[in-house]
Amino acid sequence: MKRKFLTNLTLLIILNLLIKPFWVFGIDLTVQNTVGANEYGFYFSLLSFSMLLNIIQDMGIASFNNRAIARNHGLLSRLMPNILILKLMLLLAYFIVSLTVAYFIGYKWMQVKLLLVLLFNQSLNTLNLYLRSNIGGLQLFRTDSIVSVTDRFLMIIICSVLLWGNVTGSEFRIEWFVYAQTAAYFITTLIILLILSRHVDAVNFRLDLSVTRNMLIKSYPYALLGLMMVLYYRTDSVMLERMLPDGKLQAGIYAQGFRILDAASMLGFLFAGILLPMFAKMIKQKEPVEQLFRFSFMLLIIPAVTGAVALNWFKFEIMDLLYREHAAESSGVFGYLMVSFVFVSSSIITGSLLTANGNIRYLNLIAGFSVLLNIGLNLILIPRLQAQGSALASMVTQSFTAALQLVLVMRIFALSPSVKFIARFAVFITVLVLAGYLARMFVPGPLAGFLVTAAIGPPAALLLKLISLREITGALF
């Protein structure tokens, strides 16, 4: 099972490393620098708002469906027509509720115009995630890997033409960025439907109320979990934009620091897309999950810690290299958020295992406390520290969530790291911090210093036996 996980993960990471870095640093970064922090902050806060209530049109269906199809492939033809009709109804509810909330928090027509397109984009993206959950549930991981980068690949082509093709005769506008996403999501939807048509029997588009009711009852806890996770992950920029006089600017500064976290999290969530159906199948067949859990956990945590330490030593230089303005302000945001990524990575692995095991009630309780903590900290810290306060609130919230989920996994699955292992991990972090300090002092150039620090991570992890090279090569070959 480790071999299956690692080979599919390797393909997924290779494809994402080919596509998504260019999307992040070639397209998204260029758009941010072209339109400026103020205009991009306007877009970023609306994007975050469109995500807050996105769970209304998902209702946990994708997670439930992935788990159900992984356990029984024959359910695909029965569930799909019901879910597609249900999702159309939920889409209407999503638009109505989102626009109602937008009205009550004071959005003007200028904001609502862009928000309408972003809401439609979220609808297409959510539909694609549901359709992909069928591909993952069928264990077609290679196909899913290719599909996972299709939308970004199409966006790169469209945005490249708009940014550098000299086809518009005017300055790039943030609205074009949003419309490019619409086109890419729509084409991706058609591609996924074509793929699934080969695996689905004759489809009868009739809403079976008993199937739908049963599915909603089972998926409701997943929906609640998804809502609360989005609230404590995406509320920050919305609160910044609404609470401060220069809210759009502060949201733009936050977006500059958030950009690399978002890109790194994309890679992290690739683990979840593979692990959730694998854990679900193993648990159903009563196979032990401890080895796969430990292996996947360390495989993600080691690069996360390495990146967080190395990037924090050179955070100002990195922001100054990437952006034309506000490097000093965004570097503080960036530092806090990259530490958050370590905790996000932990939660991705533990959350996948707990979800596969059906421990949604516990996850919802943890997420509920996390939402209250995040909003409370933002209310206190934003007026005092602006964007950096919001990033600090995020870091504290993510650490709280990660710690509780890890404790829960250890109790439910009777896992307990040895004192020796904890000591080795502490030494690993210490070595990285010292390496960063020495690189900062003696290595000429921030980029070289960052690369030297990051290069220390893998050999240090192997020497300290946090992960075994034999285990990795054995899983691959």
**What tens digit of pLDDT does each residue of 448-468 get?**
999 999 999 999 999 998 987
Amino acid at 35: V
In a domain, 424, yes or no: no
Domain that holds residue 273: 2-416
pLDDT digits (tens, 9 = 90+) for 270-326: 777 778 878 888 888 888 888 889 888 998 999 999 999 999 999 999 999 988 888
CA distance 240 to 220: 30
Residue 405 · residue 229 · CB < 8 Å? no
Taking CA atoms, 439 is separated from 32, 349, 430, 444, in Å, by: 30, 31, 14, 8
- Average pLDDT for 101-121: 92
Q: Terminus-to-terminus CA distance in the chain, angstroms? A: 13
- Closest by CA to 389, choosing from 263, 265, 251, is 251
Residue 74 has pLDDT above 70, yes or no: no
In a domain, 30, yes or no: yes
- Work out how many domains the chain is built from and give that number: 1
DSSP state of 23: I
pLDDT digits (tens, 9 = 90+) for 207-248: 667 767 777 777 778 778 877 888 877 888 889 988 999 998
In a domain, 387, yes or no: yes
Residue 206 has pLDDT above 70, yes or no: no
Residue 441 has pLDDT above 60, yes or no: yes
Residue 45 · residue 240 · CB < 8 Å? yes
In a domain, 437, yes or no: no
Contacts of 417 (CB under 8 A, 6+ apart): none
In a domain, 434, yes or no: no
Contacts of 372 (CB under 8 A, 6+ apart): none
Residue 475 has pLDDT above 60, yes or no: no
pLDDT digits (tens, 9 = 90+) for 335-384: 999 999 999 999 999 998 998 898 989 999 999 999 999 999 999 999 99
Lowest mean pLDDT among 43-57, 106-120, 195-209: 195-209
The predicted structure's pLDDT at residue 474: 59
In a domain, 345, yes or no: yes
Taking CA atoms, 42 is separated from 32, 375, 389, 411, 416, in Å, by: 11, 21, 19, 44, 46
pLDDT digits (tens, 9 = 90+) for 376-393: 999 999 999 999 999 999
